[in-house]
Structure 1
Amino acid sequence: MAPYFGNKAQFKMLLTVFVVAIAISWESIPCAIAARELSVGGGSYGEEAMKARHKTWMAKHGRTYRDEAEKARRFEVFKANANFVHRSNADGSRKYRLATNRFADMTGDEFMAMRTGFKPLSSSLFGASKLPGFKYENFTLSEDYQQAVDWRQQGAVTDVKDQGTCGCCWAFSAVAAVEGINQITTGQLLSLSEQQLLDCSTSTDGCQGGNMDNAFQYIISNGGITTEDSYPYTAVEGTCQSDSVQAAVTIRGFQDVPADETSLAMAVANQPVSVGIDASSQSFHMYSGGVMTADACGTNVNHAVTVVGYGTADDGTPYWLLKNQWGINWGIGGYMLLERGTNACGVALHASYPTA
């Protein structure tokens, strides 16, 4: 017996629903295929989607390769980094976010060799101008100081710089600290010369690494440091030109901060401070926002940055405000928020500051 429909209106309505259902199912097939291609293997991107992503990334960052072999090798590195970023961001427990930034086709070893360069001192500097004690040991962190400090808002921090492929992070960290104390003391913010330290501070290893205390000692012994404009950065070691430039800023000495975060806060409340940190983790390289937590890095200090403040995130997580020198396209415009109170990345282990 033929199926019974009460009237033609009912039949037309059912037929319409049937046709729409088929259309929706058919249109969803490409979406399902795309979704499978985009996310396979527990959060990884499919090969073709990843190749398209790499091509877009290359165009965005102006990246070219010398031949197809290098392109293929760099693609594999990019793929591994991109999948790591995807899995990390998909983890709802993270307080920080990662991104496939301009370093996404570099291995960890390559990145460390070219973008870090801190070397702890093996012994005390003989005859150095390191001052005894800790000048801020009796400083009281008032309620305002306990909550937040940001030396950028006080005009004591220059624009974010880029050390390039020279491992002289130590020079940038030291210069940023000197720029800060000079502005606090004189009211004048000057961008100073990292290249002068790179070329002339003979107690360091230049692009192969160095230490901020040695940089401070050179500035004192030399009678000061000149400006960036007078002695511009080239990212390679050259012949010292100190005799042909005039010192713009001088310091009297420097001190190390006791290796605890309370002492570090006392120092940062008064001036920007040079610190060494462990920047070897993949999360550190790909960082793009939020608060980097202690579980994302170790305490094998190998990179130098400058602490220019501290505060508390919206979720209540206390943080240090770090000025890095990997350009404005890394992190939060060149800055990182690093968890405070856990000695994350060894931030309190090697801290020092110049005295005006």
Structure 2
Amino acid sequence: MRPFKEYQYCRQNEEGPQYEMEFESPTTLVLCGKSSAENGLAKVLKTSNTLKLPDDAPINVVLHSENEKLESFQNDAFKIDSYMNSLSTSRIGKFLIYSPKLASTHDVVSHNFCELPIGTVCIADVQLKGRGRSKNVWESPKGCLMFSFTIQMEDGRVVPLVQYVACLAMTEAINDVCIRNGIPPLNVRIKWPNDLYLDGLKVGGILCTSTYRSKKFNISAGIGLNVSNEKPTTCLNAAIQRLTSNAYQLQQEDIVTAFFNKFENFYNIFINQGFQALEELYYKTWLHSGQRVIVQEKNENQDQISEHVVTIQGITTSGYLLAVSEDGQECELHPDGNSFDFFKGLVRRKLV
């Protein structure tokens, strides 16, 4: 399977036994903190055997300081020291769980949410069972940047907007890394609600899930980005090669660091001022302003469907698409089911 190609995983299909064999050996989780306090927590988590994987899959927890005792990682493994030295956030991304290969970074942070500090990030070089929309599965090889992190919110009305903040932070982070290294900014764009596109091809996606506990929403945000894996579509470094003769290649550590530095800033603005404070920058980055689409609308009895042409204007306060019909009536567009192209399954709901 190639990155960003979704498929339905079934234990009865011919791939089932192969998948089970992948996890007979323990999954290695390397723990590292930015500060002494976080490294102290890493020691506690290791000693207490606190971290778990779904289905109690076996794990091998080690500290980053003990890496020399492990078999050396490959040269193209995620560089933890480089990441930590460049990170300047106050909270997000400061506690790291790294794995050369695991099933899902999202499962690691969501399954251990209450045991980990808010802002924990899990990064993997290879991911075998990443989450997609519905029950779709992402399989991602070397060259994909895959990571998940945690945040916590109290206002459930704005939880759906977090994915837009993450999308914006990633597009801005990529541009920042390019400019800092003398590379023309890549025109990575946001395709609503949570995909990243480059030159008309998908290069990344973002998925946020949440649970409600003790009057707070525990959110796990997962991000996948094609950095160096050109097939089956394209990747960021392939685009750089087309734009310039510069031999520079984007490094995953630089992108993740720039992302968290951007995201923490945008997230604070979002919490304190609302998404409206980020809308102007967001709309410059997304693909849809003024886009005309055909949407469906059911009658009151839900037994007949009519189609209408509407023009997308922006995002509503609830996180759906705001559009205007040909007769000037504002409406809210909701996706109907799971589809790679949300604009083939939009349902119109009139705004009062």
Q: If the length of structure 1 is used for normalisation, what is the TM-score? A: 0.22
Q: If the length of structure 2 is used for normalisation, what is the TM-score? A: 0.23
Q: Which protein has greater RCO, CA pairs closer than 8 Å, 6+ apart?
A: 1
Bigger share in helix: 1
The structure with the larger Rg is 1
